[in-house]
């Protein structure tokens, strides 16, 4: 074999090995935002009998500017787009859009995903709509269009190991959320606090790997339950 050909083959092999050893995009991020990243989650809720199981798919589809600021657009397979902003304070969702809408709709207040400082004890406030709770005797049954719970989120741990169908990931940041809102529960209880609790795990180089939420209620007029999203596949 000619020396020039041998040298060329050695060079190609070295380049291939360098490509194999190259870390994936956003390998250090706890919420990857590079183009083409895709997540698949198994969704499960105990609100139906038997419990409902479904699939949620999300992917990063483009980068653009929204009112002069750079954002990353994540899209669900169901046709909803979420606009994410990254700045010195951390990551926030600032708008959303469905396929029926021409322009994105700004969130009233940016929804914090993760703060820039990932340390145990760091807290922030936010709000969320109930997604599981339902009225049993009124229509519409869902409460998400009328009520918002005031939430306090706190980083509970930064070095956990999490095992899900997509794999075993470490380190992971665990975020605990708790909050409540006032609602009329029934004739005996009257107006009372309705609690919401959530736990989220964000893993390095992967992003959100698990989300658990509990909206407990069991009265004649109001039923609650649990919902979870568990990562089954991540394609960087």
Question: What is the reported pLDDT for 50?
Answer: 57
- pLDDT tops 60 at residue 22: no
- pLDDT tops 50 at residue 15: no
- What's the average model confidence in pLDDT over 176-182? 97
- pLDDT tops 60 at residue 61: yes
Residue of 49 and 174 predicted with greater confidence:
174
- Tens-digit pLDDT profile for residues 102-130: 999 999 999 999 999 999 999 999 999 99
- Tens-digit pLDDT profile for residues 42-52: 999 887 555 66
- pLDDT tops 70 at residue 10: no
Closest alpha carbon to 200 in 167, 233, 235, 231: 231
Give the domain ranges of the chain.
Answer: 24-55+117-235
Question: What is the reported pLDDT for 51?
Answer: 63
Calculate the CA 215 to chain-centre distance: 18
Closest alpha carbon to 193 in 206, 179, 175, 210: 179
Task: Tell me what percent of the residues of the chain surpass a pLDDT of 70.
Answer: 87
- pLDDT tops 50 at residue 14: no
Strand partners, 191: 184
Output the pTM of the full model: 0.86
Question: What is the reported pLDDT for 127?
Answer: 93
Asked whether 228 and 43 are in contact (CB, 8 A), the reply is yes
Map the chain to HEC letters: CCHHHHHHHHHHHHHHHHHHHCCCCCCCCCCCCCCCCEEEEEEEECCCCCCEEEEEEEEEEEEEEECCEEEEEEEECCCEEEEEEEECCEEEEEEEEECCCCCCEEEEEEEEEEECCCCCCCEEEEEECCCCCEECCCCCCECCCCCCEEEEEEEEEEEEEEEECCEEEEEEEEEEEEEEEEEEEECCCEEEEEEEEEEEEEECCCEEEEEEEEEEEECCCEEEEEEEEEEEEEEC
Query: With the C-alpha atoms ordered 115, 203, 45, 61, is the resulting torsion angle positive or negative?
Result: positive
- pLDDT tops 80 at residue 13: no
Residue of 31 and 52 predicted with greater confidence:
31
Task: Tell me what percent of the residues of the chain surpass a pLDDT of 90.
Answer: 72
């Amino acid at each position: 074999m000619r020396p020039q050909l041998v040298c060329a083959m050695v060079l190609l092999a070295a380049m291939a090995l360098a490509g194999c050893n190259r870390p994936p995009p956003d390998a250090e991020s706890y919420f990857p935002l590079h183009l083409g990243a895709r997540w698949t989650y198994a969704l499960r809720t105990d609100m139906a009998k038997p419990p409902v199981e479904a699939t949620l798919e999300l992917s990063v589809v483009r980068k653009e500017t929204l009112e002069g600021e750079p954002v990353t657009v994540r899209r669900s397979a169901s046709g909803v787009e979420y606009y994410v902003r990254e700045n010195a304070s951390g990551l926030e969702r600032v708008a959303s859009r469905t396929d029926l809408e021409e322009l994105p709709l700004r969130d009233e207040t940016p929804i914090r995903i993760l703060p820039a400082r990932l340390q145990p004890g760091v807290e922030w406030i936010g709000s969320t709509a109930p997604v599981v709770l339902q009225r049993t005797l009124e229509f519409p049954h869902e409460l998400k269009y009328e009520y918002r719970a005031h939430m306090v989120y706190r980083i509970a741990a930064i070095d956990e190991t999490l095992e899900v169908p997509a794999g075993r990931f470490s380190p992971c940041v665990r975020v605990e959320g708790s909050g409540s809102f006032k609602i009329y529960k029934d004739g005996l209880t009257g107006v009372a606090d309705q609690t919401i609790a959530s736990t989220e795990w964000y893993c390095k180089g992967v992003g959100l790997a698990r989300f658990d939420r509990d909206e407990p209620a069991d009265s004649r007029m109001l039923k609650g339950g649990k919902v979870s999203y568990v990562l089954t596949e991540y394609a960087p």
